[in-house]
Amino acid sequence: MSEEILSPHDALVYIMVLVSAADRDMTDRELRRIGDQVRSLPVFAEFDPEDLVPATQDCAALLQRDDGLEKVLERIVASLPARLAETAYAIACEIAAADLEVEPEEVRILQLLRQHLRLDKLASAAIERAARARNLKL
């Protein structure tokens, strides 16, 4: 794999790690949700679950660099087919909602993802609202 290009699956994993690590605390709920997404979403049907940990570690290591956030975003955009932009954002929103409260740092990462993925406001709002609805508790 080149230094800049990831597989589309790895790009989606990077998105989940990015959102989870945004507040510097990858919680058990978020980690479980990442695993759940990989096991259940059709977009991950051809993904080998054995690749999840290495991709997560690679992303976390890249985020530790001074320019890590921008590098991760660049790799995601370079590696993800445009047709998966909304799917990628939906996955990001699911991770942000996993703790039942979206922290300001996660909101900022979601904003950056919207910009980098070039999502329109209406589609983004619908995806966010759907994630919020799916994660409500009585």
Domain ranges of the chain: 8-134
Collapsed DSSP state (helix, strand, coil) of residue 93: helix
Q: Which among 17, 4, 16 is positioned nearest to 87, based on CA atoms?
A: 16
| Other beta carbons less than 10 A from residue 119's beta carbon | 17
Question: By 3-state DSSP, what share of the chain in percent is helix, strand and coil, each rounded to 5?
Answer: 75, 0, 25
User: H helices within 22-100, ranges in order?
Assistant: 28-40, 52-63, 68-79, 85-97
Q: Which among 76, 98, 103 is positioned nearest to 87, based on CA atoms?
A: 76
pLDDT tens per residue across span 3-37: 578 999 999 999 999 999 998 878 888 899 999 99
Question: Which CATH number applies to 8-134?
Answer: 1.10.3680
Which of the four pLDDT bands, split at 50, 70 and 90, describes residue 1?
very low
Q: Does 45 have pLDDT greater than 70?
A: yes
What global pTM score does this model have? 0.92
Q: Does 2 have pLDDT greater than 70?
A: no
Q: Six-digit token pair at 74?
A: 């660049």
pLDDT tens per residue across span 63-117: 999 999 999 999 999 999 999 999 999 999 999 998 878 889 999 999 999 999 9
